[in-house]
Structure 1
């Protein structure tokens, strides 16, 4: 049976390795609290990262996930029940270790007990699918429901129950051995069990030959076990494969349903913070962003408060490059993180914390943020930035999105501008989209009259207050760092005055 809640034509690889640079992306976008919030269970820490950091690029697949998630938001118990039921089914297998062994007999016993433990969850799943899944609106959940109803019908489950009983061999193991032309015995052939009547069970079959091993006949017991294992070998492998398929199905069901459970948890967190969401629209590759009321995902999750929303109005010439400038501590990095997080959510088939979000898909998302270590003076900082950027460039493909936050600020403005401009120009020439936060005025004005560039500037009120809104505007030669210095000095003076009064 196939689950196919994440892809229309296949089950998702829930153990796939994360792409290179994922750890940097998580740290740069401050996605740690978000991923922790989305974790459906303590043993599924890697589930949501695997889905988020392997973004979809096909619009139909994105819409299909959105429809499944819409059904889950309307009836949260749909995916929660699937997740819990699969979890209970897997929990029923925890005691199978006691049947472990290297013989065909022990393998058969282990597989039979495993299938027997799966029978109640299978019946429950079939009933739930018939009652709740086949009538939902989304194609993904409806198709899963129909597959479960068609496969797990009452006749199939009854036959499976009978088969499990027969595999206990209450009348013993019946085999047939053919004599080869050489006079040697061939491989034992397992025969189906006979129907046992009450009379036969009570008095035995007429003419049946019996023998008993003498006490302490270890060689005879070993020979008899070897014959039994030879006879059960093929059957044990077949039953074990059937058990493994059921185990894989419930594991897959728990994982794929667990992703939507994680989405529900994130949705509730955003709702508690007063942040609304929308279903993002997938634009054609190369179309400009159209963003209204985008809120910071990490702030909403971490602080539980509604952040200041921002817009990114589409430009007639497109927006292959977005340049964010303006006052220090004005919200530029926050907005950069918001865009990156929203792009990941959109391409995972999820909702976005915005009023409207429209963007073309990006096959890959990369980030190059100034780290805290790079703020400290010392040699080698520029080399570290260049090394990290080199790895990003090696991974980039046409259509990818690169987020740059104060890149190459470990050197002076002249050198940093030359380095950054050369790299950005090369990325743009190869069809890579770039969002840039910079305090290098020389770098910002380098793109001032170029088509396909959108400029946003962090707003600073007349009294120096930061509104944390980014508005369309050309770069200015100052980032108003003096405001922060004066505010710090004012705070320090106020603290000293208070200490003197005390």
Structure 2
């Protein structure tokens, strides 16, 4: 049995290694805030949410498959949580099955597997009942197939067959085994046989016993005899014990996968509830195939992590960037540039995870990977200078990145003088564009921004952090050419509540 609720044709591999860029994405995009909201205090859900978010889908078809399942989840949250709780119930109940220290013996394997199967089958019955009650309320191909699979494979005959087998394997009337004599009169070909069905009542069985059967009895004190008999029994039931153990593992594996796959959507429900509590609107993004004509169109896009932590209404941005491989963001300090960059990175990750985004509209070309290069604090160990550290990280990214990826820069290469930093950044940006890598770059390096703006690159979009005449920030980005100032004097007045000294203004 397969759930196929994360992918149309494969299981959700929760043991797969995350990409080498996972740590940087987690740190730079502040994904911990989002994962905490999805987890709701459950560490398992947090891990699953992180794996689902960072294990991006790379085709619009795969994204839309998951989005359709998400729509069903958003419309039927109670059913999804009920299904998830059943998966958890099965796994937790199985943990309480006693596993003997003699678990390698067939008789012990058989007993443990039977106890486990009895528990799991009860939960399977509940799962089938939930499917019967709610299947018609789900429309996505993923859930339609899932409920259809439960109806086909978990029918009444299935449960009846399992019940009969488990009853037979209790061996209430002993174990019927056939065997032959081999070399040196050693027993061979031990085979478990089905017991004969006796239709006689107890009185008939008492007076019609077959006296021709040859039997022998072992003395109560004959420990060696009982040990030999147990060994014969184990040889006879070995095959059926292994088969039952495999069946038990198969059903338990199904519940484990179901828990993981449903856990991702439970996390999405938790996140939706948190965002709704903030009065924040969400939308299902529109993924576009990665072609020569890149797509980027967004309305009301907000930084999801900021929305979850801020007590105030977060300002969204509207950007039309179709056909743009480079988005360069400059302008006023504390004007929302870094927040915008983070909002794009989070939205792209969430879209390619099949989730909703915090916007009224979001459409973008899918990419094969998302990377970040953010400024870092000074190396306190003095192993390397700040610029050396930035270049080392850029080299590591270059080793991993490939065409059709996205790279987000935030105040990169500003650790040296403006001329040198701009030259380094310009060469890197142009090389990335030539390699068909999408670049978002937030910078205060005027030489860099102005130099690229002067090249009239058709694939470049230049945005500014909007500033009103009185110095107030709107936290919105608008299209415009780079300016030579970041309006640092506005911050000076805000902090010191006095005019900027004339010598500073001249500088």
TM-score band (shorter)?
over 0.9
TM-superposed deviation, 1:15: 2.0
TM-score, length-scaled by structure 1: 0.93
> Do structure 1's residue 307 and structure 2's residue 314 form an aligned pair?
yes
TM-superposed deviation, 1:107: 0.7
Q: Which moved more, 1:392-401 or 1:478-487?
A: 478-487
Corresponding residue for residue 4 of structure 2 = 4
Instruction: Give the secondary-structure state (helix, strand or coil) at the position aligned to 1:178.
Output: strand
Q: Which moved more, 1:324-333 or 1:84-93?
A: 84-93
Structure 1 runs not aligned, ≥5 long: 493-502
Instruction: Give the secondary-structure state (helix, strand or coil) at the position aligned to 1:20.
Output: coil
Superposed, 1:184-203 pairs within 5 Å as 184-196=186-198, 197-199=200-202
Cα offsets for 1:138-165 (capped at 9, x unmatched):
1111110010011101111111111111
Please say if residues 5 and 257 of structure 1, whose CA atoms lie closer than 8 Å, have aligned partners that are also in contact: yes
Q: Which runs of 4+ in 1 moved over 6 A?
A: 374-378
Distance 2:312 2:115 in 1: 51
Quickly say closer, same or farther: Cα 1:91–1:204, change in 2 above 3 A. Answer: farther
Distance 1:218 1:305 in 2: 78
Please say if residues 178 and 190 of structure 2, whose CA atoms lie closer than 8 Å, have aligned partners that are also in contact: yes
Instruction: Give the secondary-structure state (helix, strand or coil) at the position aligned to 1:187.
Output: strand
From 196, 201, 206, the equivalent of 2:210 is 206
TM-superposed deviation, 1:375: 11
Cα offsets for 1:373-393 (capped at 9, x unmatched):
469999521111111111111
TM-superposed deviation, 1:187: 3.1
TM-superposed deviation, 1:179: 2.3
Quickly say closer, same or farther: Cα 1:114–1:445, change in 2 above 3 A. Answer: same
Distance 1:235 1:202 in 2: 31
> Do structure 1's residue 329 and structure 2's residue 331 form an aligned pair?
no
Distance 1:306 1:347 in 2: 26
Instruction: Give the secondary-structure state (helix, strand or coil) at the position aligned to 1:246.
Output: helix
Superposed, 1:57-206 pairs within 5 Å as 57-100=58-101, 101-180=103-182, 183-196=185-198, 197-199=200-202, 205-206=209-210
> Do structure 1's residue 29 and structure 2's residue 29 form an aligned pair?
yes
Corresponding residue for residue 338 of structure 1 = 343
Distance 2:427 2:321 in 1: 25
Please say if residues 290 and 358 of structure 1, whose CA atoms lie closer than 8 Å, have aligned partners that are also in contact: yes
Distance 2:255 2:208 in 1: 43
Q: Which moved more, 1:367-376 or 1:134-143?
A: 367-376
TM-superposed deviation, 1:219: 2.1
Q: Which moved more, 1:241-250 or 1:76-85?
A: 76-85
Distance 2:311 2:123 in 1: 38
Corresponding residue for residue 503 of structure 2 = none
TM-superposed deviation, 1:203: 7.1
Corresponding residue for residue 504 of structure 2 = none
Superposed, 1:49-64 pairs within 5 Å as 49-64=50-65
Superposed, 1:320-469 pairs within 5 Å as 320-373=325-378, 380-448=385-453, 449-469=456-476
Distance 1:413 1:173 in 2: 86
Distance 1:137 1:482 in 2: 57
> Do structure 1's residue 245 and structure 2's residue 250 form an aligned pair?
yes
Quickly say closer, same or farther: Cα 1:367–1:204, change in 2 above 3 A. Answer: farther
Quickly say closer, same or farther: Cα 1:201–1:160, change in 2 above 3 A. Answer: farther
Structure 2 runs not aligned, ≥5 long: 500-507
Corresponding residue for residue 231 of structure 1 = 236
| Paired residues, number | 491
Distance 1:82 1:405 in 2: 42
TM-superposed deviation, 1:483: 1.5
Please say if residues 59 and 289 of structure 2, whose CA atoms lie closer than 8 Å, have aligned partners that are also in contact: no
Quickly say closer, same or farther: Cα 1:192–1:461, change in 2 above 3 A. Answer: same
Quickly say closer, same or farther: Cα 1:178–1:459, change in 2 above 3 A. Answer: same
Distance 1:216 1:372 in 2: 78
Instruction: Please tell me the root mean square deviation across aligned C-alpha atoms, in Å.
Output: 2.2
Corresponding residue for residue 498 of structure 1 = none
Instruction: Give the secondary-structure state (helix, strand or coil) at the position aligned to 2:44.
Output: coil
Distance 1:314 1:138 in 2: 31
Please say if residues 106 and 237 of structure 2, whose CA atoms lie closer than 8 Å, have aligned partners that are also in contact: yes
TM-superposed deviation, 1:9: 1.2
